[in-house]
Amino acid sequence: MTLIVQKYGGTSVNDPERIKIVADYIAHTKNRGNDVVVVVSAMGKQTDQLIRLAKDVSDVHPGREMDMLLTAGERISMSLLCMALSELNIKAASFTGSQAGIITDTFHTKASIVEIKPDRVVTALKDGFVPVIAGFQGVSVEKDITTLGRGGSDTTAVAIATALNADVCEIYTDVSGVFTADPRIVPNAKKLSSLDYDEMLEIAANGGKVLALRSVEFARRHDVPIHVRSSFTWEPGTWVKKEDKNMEEALVSAVTHDVSEAKITATKVPDKPGIAASLFRELADKAINVDMIVQNTSTDGNTDISFTVPRTDLETALKVTKEVLPQLGGTEVLADSEVAKVSIIGAGMKTQPGVTALTFETLAGCDINIEMISTSPIRISCLIRQDAVEQAVQALHSAFDLDK
């Protein structure tokens, strides 16, 4: 018997009508003879509404209480979904993160899963039930309610699929898969039928919003095949799985862009060992994820260091940098929010040269200046002016023949 984990995001269960449609599809899958485990997010704007309530009540939001508050969302969606399934004569039972055995560390609002004990889910499956599990939530080793942070429901789905050794983890969303670029910017972007984990990781880490980065990392580590697809059209979507050795790898699979980062530059820093280390240690201690880093070649014994951080962390990062720099002998700290990152991603580029050259030529041809560069074996990212991002994505998509 095939065991399918199906995860439905907030837009998929936005209102009673959508919940009925999703229940229909689950019943259909179950009635074809599959075992089905469902992971569900809170309904549409529910989480936003709860956050607004918290702001109306208090300026102080302890993480433990935020987690208690937000986990009300999935309770509502999952119990409603079970009722809709019951009406279709499908036995269904909802499980909170705690009841499903999602054990996390104690970092409220962004906890990590440390263990999964899905005994109750396994029993429910054996008894012919469709277990419906709350996404996004868990219970800490200290028995407090936790949430997994952004994209947490995807992570729950992949983690449960791993723990149950499921045949596939289907992630249902409001788009029909992973595209060669954002279709709002590149209208003739193509849906990719499959990707390997490394490519999907790079896409998720560089502006692709379809799958949460942590869920892809989890799937890659445990080799869980993911099928990203639409709960509105139900058509086949994009498979994310282990690289198939027999297939020729695409030179470039996708062009992504990310406008959520900001650039900080520290000028005239003495060019001696340990300077950069002490700055980035301070930033890391504040849990700020630094993405691209560029240090210029020193000419007069001083150097400029530029790096990017999430724009939401810009204020804190600036404060930290300004505090640290004088001690290190630096001069000035500059901030720039008007940047964007475009990335070319493809598993094939690690064996085929020329991608870097074509990328630079393409951007140059558009008269777009590259401010920073970072690369991985299967990715090239360029930081550019934000107002040039659409033009850059379109030009690169075309230059690498992705619209064919």
What does the binding site for its own copies look like in residue numbers (CB under 8 A)? 16, 19-20, 50, 53-54, 56-62, 64-66, 68-69, 71-73, 75-76, 78-84, 86-87, 92-94, 96, 99, 120, 143, 145
Measured distance CA(153)–CA(367) in Å, rounded? 41
Runs of H (alpha helix) within 135-261 = 152-163, 197-205, 213-222
DSSP string, 370-398: P-EEEEETTEEEEEEEGGGHHHHHHHHHH
Of the pair 2, 58, the CB lying nearest its own copies is at 58
CB of residue 170 to its own copies, shortest distance in Å: 22
Of the pair 148, 210, the CB lying nearest its own copies is at 148
Of the pair 69, 345, the CB lying nearest its own copies is at 69
| CB 133, CB 152: distance < 8 Å | no
Backbone angles phi, psi at 27, to 5 degrees: -60, -45
Q: How many residues does the chain have?
A: 404
CB of residue 270 to its own copies, shortest distance in Å: 44
**Distance (Å) of CA 377 to CA 240, 273, 350, 380, 398:** 19, 27, 5, 8, 22
Of the pair 148, 363, the CB lying nearest its own copies is at 148
CB of residue 42 to its own copies, shortest distance in Å: 10
Of the pair 83, 388, the CB lying nearest its own copies is at 83
CB of residue 276 to its own copies, shortest distance in Å: 38
**Helix (H, G, I), strand (E, B), or coil: what is residue 172?**
strand
Element (H, E) at 402: none
**Helix (H, G, I), strand (E, B), or coil: what is residue 129?**
coil
Of the pair 3, 54, the CB lying nearest its own copies is at 54
Please, what sign has the CA dihedral across residues 116, 117, 123, 129?
negative
Of the pair 132, 325, the CB lying nearest its own copies is at 132
CB of residue 78 to its own copies, shortest distance in Å: 7
CB of residue 133 to its own copies, shortest distance in Å: 12
Of the pair 96, 386, the CB lying nearest its own copies is at 96
Q: Within a 10 A sphere around the Cβ of 24, how many other Cβ atoms?
A: 14
Measured distance CA(332)–CA(325) in Å, rounded? 8
CB of residue 192 to its own copies, shortest distance in Å: 35
- Torsion, Cα of 318, 322, 328, 334 (10° steps): 70
| 370 contact partners, CB below 8 Å, separation of at least 6 | 360, 363, 382, 383, 384
CB of residue 134 to its own copies, shortest distance in Å: 9
